A = this chain, B = another copy of it.
Amino acid sequence: MAVGNDQLPELLPVPGLRLSTVSAGIKTPGRKDLVLMELTAGSHCVGVFTQNAFCAAPVTVAKAHLQASASQPGYLLTNTGNANAGTGESGIADARDCCAFVATAVDVNASQVLPFSTGVIGEPLPVDKIKAAVPAAVTNLTEDGWAAAAEGILTTDTRPKGLSVSFNCEGRDYVVTGIAKGAGMIRPNMATMLGYIATDAAVAPGLLQQLLADATKISFNRVSVDGDTSTNDACVLVATGKAGNALESDASSPLALALRDAVQEVCVVLAQALVRDGEGASKFVTVAVESGASEEECLDVAFTIAHSPLVKTALFASDPNWGRLLAAIGRAGVPDLDVDRVGLYLNGVLIAENGCRAASYTEEQGVTAMAEEEIVIRVSLNRGDAAASVWTSDFSYDYVRINAEYRT
């Protein structure tokens, strides 16, 4: 199951970035499971990574290589089918080995290659299979490779996810293209499972990092499928500089502001696409909490609702069981919450106020609202000016089936 349109929009090339997607046979023979991206000389690249203490070997190596290359890596190597996580020192050695092999093939330093892995945790990375597929990956690099790469990075996802935004700033044209993957173990903390966003603008690393951090904060860090933070979350933003502008480092410049909007739009659409393709998802749910005393308490309420198995199974059943919503709000840990001031809306219908069912509410209204594929749960705390939204999916038989059968 998945929610909404499953067509990948046209993905525009980003001059200076070439991609190839080939088969290494890591988990499924014949599956195109290896993606190589080449960043033209002079490109800058920044990343945000999982906050999970058990971060995977490729995350550790990618962070080290980003630093060693002064944010100027030349290649990004991604495999699916194996996460190279929970693999200890030998996992680190395997990730480094793959980077060194690519580096030799294309004549750069090993630290200019960043590794990314996604798939089963705890199995040794099949290094030989990956090495055997590298020559074909190098040969097939093309600027038109985004759509194939969007397919190549998937695991339990049912559809590719990507978006391009183009804009003009001070007479010059720019493009931002991004792809992402992820459907389960999704409650990113600083990044999604895997996300790659690139622009042809020339942007200094400091500004680039700020643009990525600001965008992930309100996109990938606001979605949850199951509350489980992955060991492999990684999201990178590349600036190739091929648009021809002078290197931009001023966060308040017209280009920085235009780029901020474009990167945020790409990240929000990709983050929502993760949820629409959430494992077993039949609903796309926005939880919007407003009138809170702080953004933090709004997020606490929103994520408590988004993670509640009782709320998620009621959403699956299209059951307007608003008592479960009140119960989730009540256990979210908001200090001194006055429940009599809380208002609750489902797709615009006032459900509860003053701590109980609204006088105007009828069960028919709730049933009609919950029958929609896209649901907005709006909570008004009526105690301040802060607000925050998160996006989530429901909890279905298919979620259990997918995760009970994943390794078999």
Contacts and interface: CB of A to CB of B under 8 A. Distances in A.
B331 A51 contact: yes
A53 B330 contact: yes
A255 interface: no
Interface residues of A, number: 65
Contacts of A401: 397
Contact of A189 (B319, B331, B337, B356): B331
Interface in A302-343: 307-310, 313-314, 316-317, 319, 321-324, 326-331, 334, 337, 339-340
Interface in A105-146: 120-122
Contacts of A354: 88-89
Interface stretch (A27-35, A215-223, A226-234): A226-234
B406 A120 contact: no
Nearest to A122: B323
Interface in A355-408: 355-357, 395-397, 399-401, 403-408
A13 interface: no
Given A228-B310, A326-B86, A331-B229, A408 B357 contact: no
A403 B313 contact: yes
B403 A309 contact: yes
Nearest to A54: B330
A333 to B, nearest CB: 9
Contacts of A321: 121, 406-407
22 contacts: A51-B331, A52-B330, A53-B330, A85-B326, A85-B327, A88-B354, A88-B355, A88-B357, A91-B356, A121-B323, A122-B322, A122-B352, A184-B310, A185-B310, A185-B327, A229-B327, A230-B327, A313-B399, A316-B400, A319-B404, A319-B407, A400-B400
The list of the 3 closest CB pairs from A to B, nearest first, reads A121-B323, A88-B356, A54-B330
Given A54-B339, A85-B327, 13 more contacts: A53-B339, A86-B326, A87-B357, A88-B357, A121-B324, A122-B323, A122-B326, A228-B328, A229-B330, A309-B403, A317-B403, A319-B404, A319-B408
